[in-house]
Amino acid sequence: MRKTYQMGVIGAGARGELFARALACGQGNTAFFGLCDLDADRMEKFCRFCGVEPDRRFTDPAKFLASKELDAVFITVPDFAHCETALAALAAGKHVYLEKPLAPTLSQCQQLLAAARKSDRTFYIGFNMRASPVYQKLKQIADSGVLGRLIHVSAYEQMSVAHGASFMRRWHRREARSGGFLNHKCSHDLDILQWIIGHQHRIARVASFGGTNIFRPENGPAGHGTHCSNCPPAIYRDCPYPFVGGFMFPTSEKEAIVKTQQTDIYGNDLCVYTDDKDVVDNQTLIFEWDHGVRGDFTLQPFQRDGVRSTRIWGEFGLAEHIEDLRDGRGSVIRHIDSRRGSSAEYRFSSRHGGHGGTDSEMLQRFLAAIESGSAGDSGVAEGLAASLLALKADESRHAGKVVEISPAEYGGA
C-alpha cells in the first residue's frame, strides 16, 4: 500500500497559503499535518482558510520539526530565513520543498548544497515555471536540434505596476533580505535560461546594469505619507502606486493584514518612495556560457500587463515565445526555420490556477520526487546556479565591471 505522507507548511504567507489550501483539500497520498509561523496573528488568519487543529499550529519551527509524524515540509518563509529553516528541516530528517530563490547569499547556497548532498531526503526547489507547457515546448525545440547550434538566448520579465510596486513595501526592498530584486523575483527566469541551454554547461561571466529610476524619494509628491494609510487623500488619489492586495497574504484584498509598523517584514502599505530601500527597480544583464553561447535578461516592473518573453537564436533559426495575457489569449511560440524559410506556430491557452496552473503541479512533482527517492527535476544545484547568476550580476552592477564565475562556485560534482 502507498504510504500517506504527512506534509506541513512553514511560513503562513501568500505562498504558504497556496500549498496549505491544496493540502487541506487532499492531494493524492498526502495529508495536511499542520502549520508553523513565528507570527501568531498571521497563523490565526491562515487557519480560518485551512482549518488546522490548535495542536497542529506551531510558532516555534524547532518544535514543529520535532514532530515525528511529519514527513515533509513546504518552506515558504521569506528568503532571508530559507537557509536556517531548510537546514533545520533536513537535520530533522524531513523532505524539503523550498521556495525559490535558494538563498540570498552564495555562502548560504553552498551550505544548503553541502547539506543536501549529505542527506538522503528529497530537497526540491520551487521553480514552478519548469512545469509550464510553454517552457517545456521551448526546451524541447532547443533540444531537438532544429535550431542547429544555439547562439544566444534572450528573455525579459515585465511586471504590472501594482505587482512591481509591491516589492518596494516589505522585506524584499532590502538586498540583504532577498539577495536583491533579481535573485528574489527572477531566479525563476535565470533558472529557465540555464535549463534550456543545459546544466552541463555553465555561465562563465556576467555584466549587469540596473538602478532605481522611479521609486526614489525625490520622485514622491510633496507632502505624501509614510504609508498609503496615512497619505493625504488628495495626494493618494493621484498616486500611480496605491497599495492594492493580491500580492501578499492573504491574497484577497478584503482580508489583508496590514502591519504598518513592521516594515522590516510585513510593511504592506509602505510608501514606494521611502529612502530606506536599496533594491533596484529595473535591471539588465548579459552573460556568456563556457561553450560560447550568450544571453541577456531584462527586468521591468512598470507595465500594464505582467508578461514574459523568451527568444532562442540558433544557426538554423529562431524560437520565440511571447505571453499575451489580454483577454486570456495565452502564449504563442513561433519557430522560424531560416534555411527553409518556413515557420510554425504553437498556441497555449491561459490555464486556470496560480502561475498558469503550474503551482498545483509543484506539489505532485515534489511528491513524485520523494517517492522516487530523487532530487526531482529541480534540486539544490539548479537553485544554486540560478542564485549564483543573480548574485554575480549584482556584484557586476555594484562594481561596474564584468564578473567571472569559476566552475568551483557551482559547488563541484
Ligand X SMILES: NC(=O)c1ccc[n+]([C@@H]2O[C@H](COP(=O)([O-])OP(=O)(O)OC[C@H]3O[C@@H](n4cnc5c(N)ncnc54)[C@H](O)[C@@H]3O)[C@@H](O)[C@H]2O)c1
Q: How far apart are CB 62 and ligand X at their closest, in Å?
A: 10
Q: Do 175 and 394 contact (CB within 8 A), yes or no?
A: yes
Q: How far apart are CB 366 and ligand X at their closest, in Å?
A: 13
| Residue number, 309 or 338, with CB nearest to ligand X | 309
- Cα atoms in the 13 Å half-sphere on the side-chain side of 26: 0
| Residue number, 97 or 313, with CB nearest to ligand X | 97
The label of the residue with cell 542564485 reads 387
The three-class DSSP label of residue 314 is: strand
Q: Where along the sequence are the contacts to ligand X (CB under 6 A)?
A: 10-16, 36-39, 42, 61, 76-79, 81, 85, 99-100, 126, 128, 184, 248-249, 355
Q: Are strands 342-348 and 403-404 parallel, antiparallel or unpaired?
A: unpaired
Q: Give the whole-angstrom CA distance, residue 138 versus residue 133.
A: 9
| Residue number, 171 or 410, with CB nearest to ligand X | 171
Q: How far apart are CB 377 and ligand X at their closest, in Å?
A: 15
Q: How far apart are CB 390 and ligand X at their closest, in Å?
A: 12
Q: Give the whole-angstrom CA distance, residue 37 versus residue 20.
A: 13
Q: How far apart are CB 199 and ligand X at their closest, in Å?
A: 19
The label of the residue with cell 522590516 reads 264
Q: Do 65 and 73 contact (CB within 8 A), yes or no?
A: yes
Q: Give the whole-angstrom CA distance, residue 314 versus residue 404.
A: 25
| Residue number, 60 or 276, with CB nearest to ligand X | 60
Exposed e or buried b per residue across 239-259, where buried means at least 16 C-beta atoms within 10 angstroms of its C-beta = bebebbbebbbbbeeeebebb
Q: How far apart are CB 83 and ligand X at their closest, in Å?
A: 10
Q: How far apart are CB 86 and ligand X at their closest, in Å?
A: 11
Q: Is the dihedral of CA 106, 386, 186, 357 positive or negative?
A: negative
The three-class DSSP label of residue 276 is: coil
Of the candidates 56, 62, 106, the one whose C-alpha atom is nearest the C-alpha of residue 84 is 62
| Residue number, 39 or 175, with CB nearest to ligand X | 39
| Residue number, 98 or 286, with CB nearest to ligand X | 98
| Residue number, 178 or 202, with CB nearest to ligand X | 178
